[in-house]
Amino acid sequence: MNRRSIVSFIAIPLGAAVMAFGINYFNLANNLAEGGVTGIAILLKLWLNIDPGLTTLVVNIPLLLLGWKVLGRASVGYTVYGTVSLSAFLWLFGRFRFPMDDLLLASLFAGVSVGIGLGLVFRFGGTTGGVDIIARVLQKLLGWKVGRTMLLADVAVLSVSLLYLTPQQVMYTLVAVFVGTRIIDFVQDAAYAARAAFVVSDQGPEIARRVLAELDRGATILRGAGAYTGQEKAVLYIVVGRSEIVRLKNLILAIDPAAFVTISEASEVMGEGFTLDPQRRPVAEGAPRQMDAAGGVDAGRDGT
C-alpha cells in the first residue's frame, strides 16, 4: 500500500465521522433536512425514528451493486469504504444532540460540519454513495451531467421534506446545503489554491531570476509578440501561494513599473513546490532545462 492509499484510508473515515457528527448534532437536533440519501435518512429518523445509519446503508446497497456493475470494481471501492464509514458513524453518534434556539446558527454549523466531512472524503478519492452513484451511472449511460442529476435529487428530497418540516425549517436547510457546498469546495481546493500571474515585460528574464532567488518559485518564459508593434517580448507564467502574491507584485513593480500583469485564481495546483514530494522529483537539480508544452523555457523549479 503506497503513501497516498494510506492517507486516503485514514482521511475517508475521518471525514465520514465529521459529517455524521454534524448530522446528528445539528441537523437532527434542530429538525433540519439534507439533500440526497442523507436527507432521506434524516426524514425517516424524524418521521419514523429509524436509525439513519441503518437507512443510509440499506438504501445504498442496491446503488452500490448498480455502480459495481456499470462503473467497475475499482471505481466503486472507495465509495463502499466511505458509505460503510458514514453509516457506522451515524449509528455511533446517534445519541449526540444539540438543540439550538437560533435556527440560522444551527444551519450554519450543520453546513460547515457536513461540508468539512464531505470535503475530506471527496478530496481523498472517496464518496458516501447515494446520489453520487446514480449521477455517475446516468452520466455513463445517458450522458447526463453529474451536477444536474445531483441538483434534481436534492430538490426532490427537499420538496418531500415539506410534508414533515415547516417552510422555515426547509429554508434553513437550504442555507445549510449552500454553506456545505461552499465548504466542500474550500476543503478540496484550499490547501493547494494559489494565484497564477501572466507578466509581459521587457525585463522578463530578470523578473524570472528574481522570482527564483527571492520567492523560491519558478517561472515559465513564453515567447510572445505585441499585436500592434510586432515587437517580441518575454511572457512569464508564475504560480505562487496566496500569501506570496503581494511580494510578487512588489518585485515586478520594482524591476519594471511598466510591466503588464494579470493575476487570476488557480483553484487547484499540482506539482513541485505545491504537492510533489521533493524525494520523488523526476529530474535532478542542475539538469538542463527543457522546453515546456507551450513552447516556453522553464526558468525555475516550483509551481510551473
Is 147 found in the same domain as 224? no
* C-alpha span between 211 and 243 (Å, rounded): 14
Helix (H, G, I), strand (E, B) or coil at 265: strand
Is residue 174 domain-resident?
A: yes
Kindly report the CATH number assigned to the domain that includes residue 232.
3.30.70.120
Single residue among 164, 190, 216 that ends a domain in this structure = 190
Domain that holds residue 286: 193-298
Number of domains in the chain: 2
C-alpha cell at 207: 523578473
* C-alpha span between 172 and 15 (Å, rounded): 23
Per-residue pLDDT tens listing for the chain (304 residues): 677 788 889 999 999 999 999 999 999 999 999 888 999 999 999 888 999 999 999 999 998 888 888 777 766 788 889 999 999 999 999 888 888 989 999 999 999 999 999 889 888 878 888 887 888 788 778 877 766 777 788 888 888 888 888 999 999 999 998 998 888 878 876 656 688 999 998 898 999 999 998 888 888 988 888 787 778 888 999 998 877 888 899 999 999 999 999 999 876 666 665 555 555 554 433 333 333 433 344 444 444 4
Q: What is the pTM of this model?
A: 0.69
Is 198 found in the same domain as 66? no
- CB-based contact 258:192 (threshold 8 Å): no
Looking up cell 481546493 gives: 189
Single residue among 129, 161, 190 that ends a domain in this structure = 190
Is 125 found in the same domain as 49? yes
